[in-house]
Amino acid sequence: MARQSRQKRVTILDVAKDAKVSFAAVSKVLRNAYGVSDALREKVNISIKKLGYTPNTAARAMRGRTFVVGVIFPDMRNPFFADILAGISSALERTQYESVQGIARHSTEPSLVQSMIDMQMDGLILVGTTATSKALSAVGQKKPTAVIGHHLPDTKSVDTVNNDDEISGRLVVRHLVEQGYRKIVMLSLDTENGTVIERREAGYRSEMEGAGLEGAIKVVRVSQSLREIQVAAKALISRQDRPDAIFCWTDFVALEVISVAQASGLNIPDDIAVVGHDNTIYCDFHQNSLTSVDQSGEQLGLQAARLLIERIEGRSKCEHFLVHPRLVARRSSLRAESVA
Amino acid sequence: MARQSRQKRVTILDVAKDAKVSFAAVSKVLRNAYGVSDALREKVNISIKKLGYTPNTAARAMRGRTFVVGVIFPDMRNPFFADILAGISSALERTQYESVQGIARHSTEPSLVQSMIDMQMDGLILVGTTATSKALSAVGQKKPTAVIGHHLPDTKSVDTVNNDDEISGRLVVRHLVEQGYRKIVMLSLDTENGTVIERREAGYRSEMEGAGLEGAIKVVRVSQSLREIQVAAKALISRQDRPDAIFCWTDFVALEVISVAQASGLNIPDDIAVVGHDNTIYCDFHQNSLTSVDQSGEQLGLQAARLLIERIEGRSKCEHFLVHPRLVARRSSLRAESVA
């Protein structure tokens, strides 16, 4: 923290003096202006480094940019969001931008969005928002905005980056049917205007129909509370007509289902298969060995950051990016005979 | 996102007009000034609600406060940080303050701190920082600052909130010795100036000595990379003189050790015990059943937020808060004979 330990703030003037160039020359280098010679850039950068100069965000804001983007997540518990943030960070690493994060639920998101706009952030990335298309348009008109995990194909004011969630639902059912499972229940999220969940459920339903399993279709929606997930999992498992497979909308829920099933003495995958979604870091742990759908959180984050910066720097037409998911099969859904 | 969908921003003047009071009266209510009558407050609040007024952060900053605090975490992967954030959020819920988060490693922390200061945040909470006492003093002189997870008993410029990490190390060794384990290795974090880790190791060492196990003391330090943790765990497990217990500095590492041990065909806890730290949400999952030390992340976050707001609102003398840890024993370290 060497820079913070200086009492007096280093200014552009100090840099100019040290580099023996004009204030305007330093300013040009700082904003990457056209026509700056390599020699000048090097000279200024040496002084910047030597003096420990950091551009003042407020001062940059007056020139129209703060080079800070705000990222809003619905919570910090889901390990999938760490993957998304890793993608955003690695995209920003190569630029002048840095990011700050905020955590907001549906009801507190508007206030946090407004605070980030007030703080003069250059753009916003909203992850897993459930805001309406109209509300997002209003945000997009104020600030360049990219949305991850919310299907808005008709929106013209924000960029979107999504997984093809209908394919996700289809892939899971297809895999489970191939493994001989039939009574496949989906443990889904109780949410309003959650287009990701709607599509994932639609994929599940249509693939079940395609496999002639209409009669077995069952979607149970629960909140994100661990307690409610536990109760729902226990209820499913202790039914007389117990499902032989549970497809969970996100890995964290699937890990809890594994826990409840094992605690009830069930064998996974012989008695019951468990499949998750997002292929987060925990799936690979031997004690979980959780089959999951990979939608590449890192890729989603990377693309959103790339699109956002393009928008900040002038692109006016919005873009929609779609990732194609793939299923990663592990022990939790592979019946003994099919394991090599 | 109703508020964002308004095209024109609602101002204090609009509120004053609607409530039929003066601009100054609204301003007084907003900053909770002394001498505001309940009747006036109610009248203004009704208009604020009706019009959907949100105070502009920049405008508030000119009056000296933005009511935003910045929280910096070293990463977003460790589930322990979600517990800390939950505590911070629940403390702030009862106040006018909201928080934004930033993720920074040791090398990028100074720049993020500076950006948050530039964004006029009212205060900072630094979680798991490894900055020197001198550097933190400089930050603390610029902004009210609370530090979680860094022992700086002599600092006079920042508040600190910590677990008693020496006790943590002692508790783990004591428990493992009681369960009959002797070859107890500590899998620790490779870090510079990490006072939490130093104390946890010191507790481990002194309790091992106290139990007459000096000869078995072994501390292996690895980075936070999953790959390196895997390699270190495999190396420990395949040694001729395999340890009979591994104490991991954080739960995430312990979950990986369980994975590696099980994949190598070892039985936990008969062949090897595994203990974590932080008692995060994953410990309770049946497939992990991980013994861990609870330092109450939520409590740490809550206290830090409380102390920070006191500082923002005028307290000048700094305070240091210490949480006493407790061990939560689960299957991963309970030998069969001692399980009820």
Interface subset of B 172-231, CB within 8 angstroms of A: 226
| Per-residue pLDDT reduced to its tens digit, B30-80 | 766 566 788 888 888 888 888 877 766 555 555 567 889 999 999 888 999
- Cα separation, B206 vs B189, in Å, equals 18
Last residue of a domain, one of B55, B78, B97: B55
What's the pLDDT band for A105 if we cut at 50, 70, 90? confident
| Per-residue pLDDT reduced to its tens digit, A229-257 | 999 999 999 988 999 999 999 999 999 99
- In chain B, which residues have their Cβ closer than 8 Å to the Cβ of A139? 1, 4
Residue A7 confidence (pLDDT):
42
Question: How many C-beta atoms lie closer than 10 Å to residue A316's C-beta?
Answer: 6
Q: Is the residue at B61 inside a domain?
A: no
Mean pLDDT of chain A: 89
What's the pLDDT band for B339 if we cut at 50, 70, 90? very low
Across A101-115, A215-229, B190-204, B310-324, least confident range:
A101-115
Residue B310 has pLDDT above 90, yes or no: yes
Q: Is the residue at A63 inside a domain?
A: no
How many helices (H) and strands (E) chain B has is answered by 12, 12
Return the CATH number at A275.
3.40.50.2300
Residue A5 has pLDDT above 50, yes or no: no
Same domain, A238 and A160: no
Same domain, A145 and A173: no
Average pLDDT over residues B22-27: 76
Q: Which one of A11, A65, A84, A115 would you mutate to disrupt binding with B, by most B Cβ within 10 Å of its Cβ? A: A115
Same domain, B145 and B268: no
Which residue among A102, A135, A287 places its CB closest to the CB of B1? A135
- In chain B, which residues have their Cβ closer than 8 Å to the Cβ of A79? 77, 79
What is the SS3 assignment for B185? Answer: strand
Same domain, A189 and A257: yes
Report how many domains make up chain A.
Answer: 3
Q: Is the residue at A265 inside a domain?
A: yes
Interface subset of B 225-284, CB within 8 angstroms of A: 226, 255-256, 258-260, 262-263, 281-282, 284
Last residue of a domain, one of A32, A55, A78: A55
Average pLDDT over residues B278-295: 97
Asked if B51 has any chain A CB less than 8 Å from its own CB, the reply is: no
- In chain B, which residues have their Cβ closer than 8 Å to the Cβ of A263? 286
Give every CB contact of residue B332 below 8 A, 6+ residues apart in sequence: B254, B258, B268, B269, B273, B274, B275, B288, B289, B290, B291
- Tokens found for residue B332: 């991963």
Helix axis angle, B109-118 to B133-142, nearest 10°: 10
Q: Is the residue at B60 inside a domain?
A: no
The residue of chain B with its CA nearest to that of A131 is B1
What is the SS3 assignment for A246? Answer: strand
Average pLDDT over residues B127-143: 92
Q: What's phi and psi for A210, nearest 5 deg?
A: -60, -30
Same domain, A310 and A333: no
- Cα separation, B327 vs B295, in Å, equals 9
The residue of chain A with its CA nearest to that of B84 is A76
Same domain, A84 and A47: no
- Please, where are the H alpha helices in B143-277? 165-178, 195-210, 226-237, 251-263
- In chain B, which residues have their Cβ closer than 8 Å to the Cβ of A76? 76, 81-82, 85, 101
Q: Which domain holds residue A36?
A: 2-55
The residue of chain B with its CA nearest to that of A226 is B281
Which residue among A3, A81, A259 places its CB closest to the CB of B287? A259
Asked if B287 and A288 count as a contact pair (C-beta separation under 8 A), the reply is yes
Asked if B68 and B100 count as a contact pair (C-beta separation under 8 A), the reply is yes
Same domain, A175 and A320: no
Residue B276 confidence (pLDDT):
98
Q: Is the residue at B204 inside a domain?
A: yes
Last residue of a domain, one of A55, A78, A98: A55
Amino acid residing at A161: V
Asked if B132 has any chain A CB less than 8 Å from its own CB, the reply is: yes
What's the pLDDT band for B16 if we cut at 50, 70, 90? confident
Residue B1 confidence (pLDDT):
33
- Please, where are the H alpha helices in chain B? 12-19, 23-30, 38-51, 57-62, 79-93, 109-118, 133-142, 165-178, 195-210, 226-237, 251-263, 297-312
Question: How many C-beta atoms lie closer than 10 Å to residue A105's C-beta?
Answer: 11
- In chain A, which residues have their Cβ closer than 8 Å to the Cβ of B131? 1
Same domain, B43 and B187: no
Same domain, B279 and B312: no
Return the CATH number at A31.
1.10.260.40
Q: Is the residue at A42 inside a domain?
A: yes
Tell me whether residues B284 and A259 touch, CB distance under 8 A: yes
ipTM of the modeled complex:
0.81
Q: Is the residue at A270 inside a domain?
A: yes
Same domain, A44 and A115: no
Same domain, A235 and A315: no
Q: Is the residue at A61 inside a domain?
A: no
- In chain A, which residues have their Cβ closer than 8 Å to the Cβ of B77? 79, 82, 281
| Per-residue pLDDT reduced to its tens digit, B139-154 | 999 999 999 999 998 8
Of A262, A261, A207, A213, nearest to A238 (Cα)?
A261
Residue-by-residue DSSP string for A192-239:
SS-HHHHHHHHHHHHHHHHTT-GGG--EEEE-S-HHHHHHHHHHHHTS
What's the pLDDT band for A8 if we cut at 50, 70, 90? low
- Tokens found for residue A129: 């928002």
Asked if A308 and A159 count as a contact pair (C-beta separation under 8 A), the reply is yes
Residue A1 confidence (pLDDT):
33
Same domain, B259 and B315: no
Residue A60 confidence (pLDDT):
55
What is the SS3 assignment for B168? Answer: helix
